[in-house]
Amino acid sequence: MPDTTLPVLPVDLPAGAVARYARHLSLPGIGLVGQQRLAGTRVLCIGAGGLGSPVLQYLAAAGVGTLGIVDDDVVDLSNLQRQIIHPVTAVGTPKVHSAAEFIANLNPLVAVRTFDTRLTRDTIGEILDGLAPHIVVDGSDNFATRYLVADTCADRAIPLVWGSISRFSGQVSVFDDGHTLRDLYPEPPAPGTVPTCAEGGVFGVLPGVIGTIMATEVIKLVTGTGTPLVGRLALWDGADATMRTVRFEPQPGSAALRHTTPPDDGVVCTPAPALTPDGILETPVSHWPELAGEGVRLVDVREPHEWAGGVLGDPLRLPLSTLKTGDLGVLEHVSRETPLAVYCAAGVRSRAAALLLGEAGFRDVVSLSGGINAWWLRR
């Protein structure tokens, strides 16, 4: 395997560093030179959320010399279940500021550069030019940003440590030495086809597992110890406590696919049409009171444990998991001519349910885009 150690020049450790990093200094594979290389390294972390939290915490603790943090979001109460770099007192404040304060309290020997901005093709270039990172870590939460970061790093030959999470599982890889994200996933999935954390939920400790592995890969690349995940994808299943890795090679044509993701704001955010490509009629969840007033029956296809948090109106309750088995439940004896408005948490499951209900013979089914979460947020 080729040498993937980063071209980082060791720097002298500052006063107090020997005691702080004593366990690294005595560790074969790191030692004094490895610690000096860490002190001379600049890392750019995309995102200060679930994955960014453990990445930033452990890289700061390990003594990475400079940490850049990019995030334009503010801390929300719902973040605290997994984004453990932020305290409750930071709710409503920029994530980059909260993360920087944590790092300063953890290790004042680390320099922090914050970028409270949305990542676009223009801003990523400016940030990379200004910070000149040796390595980039992508902990972003949307596909447009992931592909923008991956394509840009590939163009500039900057090693990229990449991770993603969903529900109970996560993935990690290192894109370097000709390997890119597009070798694994040539193009991003269509908008709305993959549940967000708000839609599908996320196991609170999962970002800690995946983010810690990502931080491990950074340290391995910097110090030259171990075998990094270059050309390998690690797959962690938290529910079954299993880890497996699969190998992949650079694919012909991957470079030609770069920059096909909308780069303008890093987020795919286009108004949903009345009729989706899969033939599902869709309307914003804000229309549900009017629909209910017109005799349209609401159908809640979330799981039973979600109903305890509240429902819209007086819905018929039919979990998508039940509907997928072919069981129509409470709709079994409902006339197929009855107009139905289907909703879930964020609008992904409702589209799947609408399609199944259409196949079951219901002739007038609409999916409420945005789901109940969007309705709650508008109030």
**Alpha-carbon gap, residue 247 to 29, rounded angstroms:** 25
**C-beta separation of 74 from 93 below 8 A:** yes
Q: Determine which one of 45, 153, 269, 344 is catalytic.
A: 344
Where in the chain do CATH 3.40.50.720 domains reside?
A: 17-257
| 296-to-290, 308, 339 alpha-carbon distances in Å | 9, 23, 5
Q: What pLDDT does 85 receive?
A: 97
Asked about 45 being catalytic, the answer comes back as: no
Enter the CATH code of domain 17-257: 3.40.50.720
Q: Please enumerate in sequence order all residues whose Cβ is within 8 A of that of 75, keeping only pairs 6 or more positions apart, or say none.
A: 83, 86, 90, 91, 92, 93, 94, 95, 98
Where in the chain do CATH 3.40.250.10 domains reside?
A: 281-378
For residue range 230-239, list pLDDT tens digits in order: 999 998 888 8
Which letter does DSSP use for residue 76 in this model? Answer: -
The phi and psi torsions of 215 (rounded to 5 degrees) equal -65, -35
Taking domain 281-378, whether its CATH number is 3.40.710.10 is answered by no
Among 125, 248, 106, CA closest to 176: 248
Give the percent of the chain with pLDDT over 90: 61
Q: In what order do the strands lie in the sheet with 340-343?
A: 281-284, 365-369, 340-343, 297-300, 316-317
Least confident of 8-22, 60-74, 311-325, 363-377: 363-377
Q: Determine which one of 45, 153, 197, 269 is catalytic.
A: 197
**C-beta separation of 315 from 354 below 8 A:** no
- pTM of the full structure: 0.70
For residue range 136-184, list pLDDT tens digits in order: 999 998 888 999 999 999 999 999 999 998 888 899 999 998 999 998 8
Strand partners of residue 285: none
- Most confident range (mean pLDDT) of 82-96, 164-178, 238-252, 361-375 is 82-96
CA–chain centroid gap for 212, Å, is 15
Is 2 a residue whose pLDDT tops 80? Answer: no
Higher per-residue pLDDT: 196 or 265: 196
Joined tokens for residue 135: 């390595």
Asked about 344 being catalytic, the answer comes back as: yes
Is 370 a residue whose pLDDT tops 90? Answer: no
